[in-house]
Chain A
Amino acid sequence: MKLVINGQEKELECGNISELLSGLNLNKNTVAIELNKNIVHRQKFDNTQLKDNDKLEIVKVVGGG
């Protein structure tokens, strides 16, 4: 399945967001996710299914002023 993650096209096999995150080695408790410009809350990662051409933003907290 083709996904656009943080502006990069990726070919990945995963059903839901939790599976995507573990495939990417990301800790679900340290990221926030926007799927096609809508926020997906952490408790919904397990049951949010992904489909071809979905666009995701995966963000984390970094240093800033």
Chain B
Amino acid sequence: MDDKLKIGDFEFNSRLFIGTGKYENLDIMKKAHEAAGAEVVTVAIRRVDLNDKSDKSLMSFIDTNKIKILPNTAACFTADEAIRTARLAKAAGLPNWVKLEVIGDKKTLMPDNEETLKATKVLVKEGFTVLAYTNEDIVYAKKLEEAGAAAVMPLGAPIGSGQGILNPNNIKIILEQAKVPIIVDAGVGTASDATIAMELGADGVLLNTGVALAKDPVRMAKAMKSAIESGRDAFLAGRIPKKLYASASSPIGDTIK
């Protein structure tokens, strides 16, 4: 069955985008990526440590024949910082797309939507495929889409919190009105959270901490893979409406007396 995820010019079979942060070591990360069947993994861009000469490159643990690397602008607090980070990622040889993340509050890591919108406009003009991280807010989701974002990524819950999908109704509203793919990004703590996002009709899920900090990250990556596939199938299959009263599955009459 052809059920590909299309973002800008890119196409994927897997709907699970997974991070590269917080793993105990890079071998486990690599195995988790394999178990997740990942075709997209996120990375961050940071200053090199001029005093640290150890050169254990993250990149050598990512199979770029199978996996497309999605740079993020995590920890940027202004549009300007995010734009510069995206440009640096491209100059580092990464694909011409970006998970645009502009943070507005240190404690909650909630997005600054105004700055995100500003940065989206500039980066789209420069030819970037922009995947914009935002709140589960229909107004900004629409604004980002109108500004040319190739995908909008509403949060399920604060980054790394593992609280799950806190506002399914708001995500549903975004999904009903969106013309671009919607990737639920952040807050997914366990498999059922990912399934819920997909059952709502999300086009994909992006997660990091839920897998990286699980007791067994490789097993959790496998669980997330099947959770997302199950949720997608359930969405496409079309669930039954919820009813207040029972509706018998076995014939009511002709029972023995």
Task: Tell me the A residues contacting B by CB distance below 8 Å.
Answer: 5-8, 10, 24-27, 29-34, 37, 39-42, 57-65
Task: Tell me the B residues contacting A by CB distance below 8 Å.
Answer: 19-23, 29, 42-48, 50, 53, 55, 57-59, 69, 71-72, 74, 84, 87-94, 159-160, 186, 206-209, 212
B207 cross-chain contacts in A, Cβ below 8 A: 65
Minimum distance in angstroms from B179 CB to a CB of chain A: 26
Pick the residue among A29, A39, A59, A64 that contacts B20 (CB under 8 A): A64
Question: Which residue of B is nearest A27, CB measured?
Answer: B55
- The CA-CA distance from A63 to B4 in the complex, in Å, is 27
Minimum distance in angstroms from A39 CB to a CB of chain B: 5
Minimum distance in angstroms from A8 CB to a CB of chain B: 7
- The CA-CA distance from A39 to B74 in the complex, in Å, is 19
DSSP class of B's interface residues: helix, strand, loop or mixed? mixed
Question: Which residue of B is nearest A58, CB measured?
Answer: B48
The answer to whether B84 and A63 touch across the interface, beta carbons within 8 angstroms, is no
Question: Which residue of A is nearest B212, CB measured?
Answer: A65
Known: A57-B47, A65-B209. A32 touches B20 (CB 8 A): no
Pick the residue among B42, B46, B69 that contacts A60 (CB under 8 A): B46
Known: A32-B92, A39-B87. A61 touches B21 (CB 8 A): no
B94 cross-chain contacts in A, Cβ below 8 A: 61
List 7 A-B pairs, minimum CB-CB distance, nearest first: A64-B44, A65-B208, A65-B19, A32-B92, A32-B91, A63-B20, A63-B21
Minimum distance in angstroms from B26 CB to a CB of chain A: 8
Apart from the given pairs A59-B47, A62-B45, A63-B19, 15 other A-B contacts in the complex at a CB distance below 8 Å: A5-B50, A26-B48, A29-B93, A30-B57, A39-B90, A61-B58, A61-B71, A63-B29, A63-B44, A64-B21, A64-B44, A64-B74, A65-B21, A65-B72, A65-B209
B23 cross-chain contacts in A, Cβ below 8 A: 63
Known: A62-B58, A63-B20. A32 touches B89 (CB 8 A): yes
The answer to whether A57 and B88 touch across the interface, beta carbons within 8 angstroms, is yes
The answer to whether A8 and B50 touch across the interface, beta carbons within 8 angstroms, is yes
- The CA-CA distance from A63 to B75 in the complex, in Å, is 13
A60 cross-chain contacts in B, Cβ below 8 A: 45-46, 48, 92
B69 cross-chain contacts in A, Cβ below 8 A: 61
- The CA-CA distance from A8 to B48 in the complex, in Å, is 12
- The CA-CA distance from A40 to B159 in the complex, in Å, is 32
Pick the residue among B21, B53, B84, B159 that contacts A25 (CB under 8 A): B53
Minimum distance in angstroms from B181 CB to a CB of chain A: 19
The answer to whether B19 and A31 touch across the interface, beta carbons within 8 angstroms, is no
Most buried by A among B53, B88, B209: B88
The answer to whether B91 and A33 touch across the interface, beta carbons within 8 angstroms, is yes
A30 cross-chain contacts in B, Cβ below 8 A: 55, 57, 59, 92
